[in-house]
Structure 1
Amino acid sequence: MYAQRQLSYAPTPYSYTPTSTLSATINLDEELKLTSTNAERDLYESLAEVYSIITTLEALEKAFLKDSIGEVDYTETCSRLLKQYKSNLADENVGRAFGDLETFKKEWDLECPRATERLRVGLPATVEQPTHRAATATTGAAASLIAAVTENFITFLDAIRIGMVSKDTLHPLLVDTITAVNKVTDKEFENKGKIVNWLITLNQMRASEELNQDQARDIQFDVESAYYGFKATLE
């Protein structure tokens, strides 16, 4: 009597009757695989590790600002996280999928301003801006630390002079230098800040990248000046 009218809205779940063909193709007990190859699995595991490192670093920075963690534990943990971050991204496939930090943060909706700054600098806050009091120069321990600083400065400058100007050579040498300096003194001296600036510059380069001739001359001059400035604090 009445013509059947097509409904304009979606049917309710109760109005749906699965067909035998479709039902036969779905096994609710079957494990869902997110990857089809070992290479894909390794890639996603590495990206998950990078995500974990970033969020952990954000929490660590907040804890340090609140004095919830001591300087020694903070420095050790932060240094380890930074190394793990760089190690994961050193893989070409991971680095390509990661893109850059800002892209990765946007894709995964990450809000981590403190971790972002720490990754940009590439150094723990205690190394970038030391707050502890160093040993006095009259102790035997301090004399040993001063000798280590001198050795680190000389090693770095020798590397520059013989043309070793790649990021993966210079960055760890300069990290060792500023770390050794901070064990002796927390005083500011000529060009100390430039060492940190060079560390940031090197940190943002790819491992295979090299300083050009002008940069090599500039960093040699700045580090030599910083060495003389350091020595002046001991007089």
Structure 2
Amino acid sequence: MSGHLSLDEEVRLYATNAEREKYSLLATLFGIIVALDYLERAYIRDALTADEYSPACTRLLSQYMTMLKLVKDSVPSIEQFMAHYRMDTPAALHRIKVGVPATVEHSSEAG
């Protein structure tokens, strides 16, 4: 055998700085989606007030939109991204599709 495989050797996801940046951006997008899902679930369980929830949700949605622009070449759709990385975050997906916090969504439905 010509190649020696060391179990102590670090396996790299990337070979170039551009690839490293790509994976870093994808990881950030993943984190935003997970955070949004936790936020939605906390609000649903009444662990947050509307005054705490709304600005946090607006900020995460804004961060999501910014990240999506940065990774548009790697992420054809949010559904495909979530399926590829086996994300089970239905509350986040719903909030992303609606695009506004639940407090805004439900106040516009009532009025």
Q: Is the structural similarity TM-score above 0.5?
A: yes
Structure scoring higher RCO (CA < 8 A, sep ≥ 6) equals 2
Q: Using the alignment, how far apart are the partners of 1:29 and 1:76 within structure 2?
A: 45
Q: Using the alignment, how far apart are the partners of 1:90 and 1:37 within structure 2?
A: 21
Q: Using the alignment, how far apart are the partners of 1:43 and 1:37 within structure 2?
A: 10
Match of residue 109 from structure 1: 86
- Amino acid paired to 1:115: A
Q: Using the alignment, how far apart are the partners of 1:187 and 1:109 within structure 2?
A: 35
Identity, in percent, stands at 37
Match of residue 41 from structure 2: 62
1:112-140 CA-to-partner distances (Å, cap 9, x unmatched) read 2211110011100111123xxxxxxxxxx
Match of residue 63 from structure 2: 84
1:57-93 CA-to-partner distances (Å, cap 9, x unmatched) read 11111110110011111111111110111101112xx
Count, aligned residues: 111
Q: Using the alignment, how far apart are the partners of 2:87 and 2:13 within structure 1?
A: 22
Q: Using the alignment, how far apart are the partners of 1:109 and 1:120 within structure 2?
A: 18
- Amino acid paired to 2:23: Y
- Amino acid paired to 1:110: M
After superposing on structure 2, the runs of 4+ consecutive aligned residues of structure 1 that deviate more than 6 Å are none
| In the alignment, structure 1 residue 75 sits paired with structure 2 residue 54 | yes
Q: Secondary structure at the match of 1:34?
A: coil
User: Which one has the largest radius of gyration?
Assistant: 1
Match of residue 19 from structure 2: 40
TM-score normalised to structure 1 length: 0.44
| In the alignment, structure 1 residue 127 sits paired with structure 2 residue 109 | no
Identify if the C-alpha distance between structure 1 residues 187 and 101 changes in structure 2 by more than 3 Å, giving closer, same or farther: closer
Q: Using the alignment, how far apart are the partners of 1:128 and 1:61 within structure 2?
A: 13
Q: Secondary structure at the match of 1:67?
A: coil
Match of residue 49 from structure 1: 28
Q: Using the alignment, how far apart are the partners of 1:28 and 1:108 within structure 2?
A: 25
Q: Using the alignment, how far apart are the partners of 1:63 and 1:78 within structure 2?
A: 11
Identify if the C-alpha distance between structure 1 residues 63 and 31 changes in structure 2 by more than 3 Å, giving closer, same or farther: same
Identify if the C-alpha distance between structure 1 residues 26 and 112 changes in structure 2 by more than 3 Å, giving closer, same or farther: closer
Cα RMSD (Å): 2.1
TM-score normalised to structure 2 length: 0.87
Identify if the C-alpha distance between structure 1 residues 119 and 187 changes in structure 2 by more than 3 Å, giving closer, same or farther: closer
Following superposition, the deviation at residue 26 of structure 1 comes to: 3.5
Q: How does 1:1-235 map to 2 (within 5 A)?
A: 21-22=2-3, 25-91=4-70, 94-130=71-107, 188=111
